[in-house]
Amino acid sequence: MNEVVISNQNGVVDVHVTEEVALAMRTLQQKQIAIQEMKNEEEKIKDLFKEAMRTAGVMSIDYDGIKIQYKAPHTRTSIDSKRLKAEQPAIYDAYSKTSPVSESVTITYD
């Protein structure tokens, strides 16, 4: 039986789980750690592509069903509120801000 019992007695929280639930929790934690490690590795690989493509002045690579697009750093104007723009365009203009956007690569597969 998958059971989690949580009780609160006088401000003291007591948690009881079955072995099956405890195993699922440990498995989930291991998976989340592995996912984070893979995300970190993915970022390192993307950084290699960004550097190589920026240096070579290449914006797009198509190779064997994989497409990599380089986007140079740029700025973007963000809106604090859509409603503000609709109701108070002058205030919207006063609160608009321009901020830098980091370079990136996008990888897609056929």
Same structural domain, 79 and 53: no
Task: Judge whether residue 64 has pLDDT over 60.
Answer: yes
Same structural domain, 51 and 65: no
Same structural domain, 4 and 33: yes
Q: What is the DSSP letter of 96?
A: -
Q: Are 106 and 68 in contact (CB under 8 A)?
A: yes
**Local structure of 84: helix, strand or coil:** helix
CA 5 to chain centre: 33
Same structural domain, 69 and 51: no
DSSP for 54-100, written as a single string: HHHT--EEEETTEEEEEE--EEEEE-S-HHHHHH-HHHHHHH-EEEE
Give the span between the Cα atoms of 31 and 28, in whole angstroms: 5
Q: Is pLDDT larger for residue 64 or for residue 21? A: 64
| Range of weakest confidence among 14-18, 54-58, 65-69, 70-74 | 14-18
Q: How confident is the model at residue 1 (pLDDT cuts 50, 70, 90)?
A: low
Same structural domain, 67 and 104: yes
| Range of weakest confidence among 2-11, 38-47, 56-65 | 2-11
pLDDT at position 21 is: 84
How many domains, in total, are found in the chain? 2
Q: Is pLDDT larger for residue 41 or for residue 107? A: 41
Same structural domain, 11 and 46: yes
Same structural domain, 32 and 7: yes
Which among 25, 40, 57 is the end of a domain? Answer: 57
Across the chain, mean pLDDT equals 88
pTM of this prediction?
A: 0.60
**Local structure of 29: helix, strand or coil:** helix
Domain of residue 13 covers: 1-57
Same structural domain, 63 and 30: no
Q: Is pLDDT larger for residue 80 or for residue 22? A: 22
Per-residue pLDDT tens digits for 67-89: 999 999 999 887 667 889 899 99
Same structural domain, 34 and 69: no
